[in-house]
């Protein structure tokens, strides 16, 4: 018999097991989901245990829904069923249960960002009145070789507070959940911020170094040829001084930043479809 329930903070081990058995088996992530990854997503993406659900047959997880929560909305980061239990309505039941809970407790905005190759997800979301947003989010990787070249020395180090003061971050609706202000603030202590300055802020870039990888979190520039040239210098410095691969996660495909990265040595490696629904309009 199958049981469904919302999770508690002490369900971390069970949630990790559920993701490993129901999501990782499809090979959609380029990393294994473990307790360290779980803690990182709690900290950076605001994964919220009480917005997560598990379906179990006995003690065995057979479906999982992972939800993150911020003041303005909830995001489903994973929704998956074990391959031996698909097409039995488990994912639909988990999704409907979360929507009913949010109709009472809020927030009323529910979003989904998942790889575009996820099975029958499109049909399920459309049936539940989700609207697909216009633009996709894309992961990109720099096709050059890392290090040992050092930065040019033209850059000025800044802090995250400096960036926020200059209003360099795009509005929330243009950014993936993973790169919103809240996400960047959560990792601000780990970010390196470089800028090119003249009589104004020409361009600014923010990145952080992880094991064998440099993550590009932000690249903004003044809207003219001078600003664009400054952005090229910064991006070149970031890539060529890296000791690992350089990646840019969840870049809006319709943004100027995406086109800039494509024209400066980056290739798309995966894409995500964003969906959204306002619960109050449905229940």
pLDDT tens figures, 57-75: 999 999 999 999 999 999 9
- Right CATH for 2-128 from 3.40.50.170, 3.30.465.10, 1.10.3720.10, 3.40.630.30: 3.40.630.30
Instruction: Give per-residue burial for 92-118: e unless 16+ CB within 10 Å, then b.
Output: bbbbebbbebbeeeeebbbbbbbeeeb
What pLDDT shows up at residue 77? 95
More confident call, 249 vs 163 = 249
CB 115 within 8 A of CB 271: yes
What pLDDT shows up at residue 129? 94
pLDDT tens figures, 212-255: 899 999 999 998 999 999 999 999 999 989 988 999 999 999 88
Q: Give the global pTM.
A: 0.89
User: In angstroms, rounded to a whole number, what is the distance separating the alpha carbons of residues 35 and 41?
Assistant: 10
pLDDT tens figures, 92-104: 999 999 999 999 9
What pLDDT shows up at residue 162? 81
pLDDT tens figures, 263-275: 999 999 999 999 9
CB 252 within 8 A of CB 219: no
Q: Say if 2-128 and 140-271 have the same CATH topology.
A: yes
Task: Inform me whether the pLDDT recorded for 173 exceeds 50.
Answer: no
DSSP string, 9-50: GGGHHHHHHHHHHHTGGGT-SSS---HHHHHHHHHHT-B-GG
What pLDDT shows up at residue 229? 92
As a whole-number percent, the residues of the chain with pLDDT over 90 amount to 73
Domain boundaries, the chain: 2-128, 140-271
**Pairing status of strand 109-115 against strand 74-81:** parallel
| Among 48-52, 63-67, 203-207, 210-214, the least confident range | 210-214
User: In angstroms, rounded to a whole number, what is the distance separating the alpha carbons of residues 93 and 79?
Assistant: 11
Task: Inform me whether the pLDDT recorded for 52 exceeds 80.
Answer: yes
- What's the average model confidence in pLDDT over 79-100? 96
What pLDDT shows up at residue 119? 66
What pLDDT shows up at residue 169? 53
Task: Inform me whether the pLDDT recorded for 172 exceeds 60.
Answer: no
What pLDDT shows up at residue 155? 84
- Right CATH for 140-271 from 3.30.1700.10, 3.40.50.2300, 3.40.630.30, 3.40.50.460: 3.40.630.30
What pLDDT shows up at residue 283? 52
What pLDDT shows up at residue 120? 76
More confident call, 244 vs 6 = 6
Task: Inform me whether the pLDDT recorded for 188 exceeds 50.
Answer: yes
Tokens describing residue 8? 């508690």
């Amino acid at each position: 018999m199958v049981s469904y329930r919302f999770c508690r903070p002490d369900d971390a081990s069970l949630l990790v097991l559920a993701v490993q058995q129901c999501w990782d088996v499809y090979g959609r992530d380029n990393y294994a989901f473990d307790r360290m990854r779980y803690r990182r997503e709690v900290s950076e993406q605001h994964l919220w245990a009480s917005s997560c659900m598990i379906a179990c047959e006995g003690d065995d997880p057979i479906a999982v829904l992972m939800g993150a929560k911020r003041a303005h909305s909830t995001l489903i980061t994973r929704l998956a069923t074990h391959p031996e239990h698909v097409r039995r309505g488990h994912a639909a039941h988990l999704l409907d249960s979360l929507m009913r809970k949010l109709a009472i407790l809020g927030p009323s905005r529910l979003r989904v960002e998942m790889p575009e190759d996820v099975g029958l997800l499109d049909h399920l979301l459309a049936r539940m009145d989700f609207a697909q947003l216009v633009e996709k989010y894309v992961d990109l990787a720099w096709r050059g070789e890392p290090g040992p070249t050092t930065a040019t020395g033209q850059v000025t180090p800044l802090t995250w507070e400096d960036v926020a003061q200059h209003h360099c971050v795009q509005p929330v609706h243009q950014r993936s959940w993973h790169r919103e202000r809240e996400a960047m603030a959560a990792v601000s202590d780990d970010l390196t911020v470089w800028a090119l300055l003249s009589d104004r802020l020409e361009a600014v870039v923010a990145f952080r170094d992880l094991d064998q990888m440099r993550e590009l979190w932000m690249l903004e520039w003044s809207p003219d040829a001078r600003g664009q040239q400054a952005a090229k210098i910064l991006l070149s410095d970031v890539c060529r001084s890296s000791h690992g691969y350089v990646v840019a996660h969840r870049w809006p495909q319709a943004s100027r930043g995406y086109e800039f990265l494509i024209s400066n040595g980056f290739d798309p490696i995966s894409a995500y479809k964003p969906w959204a629904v306002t619960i109050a309009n449905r229940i």
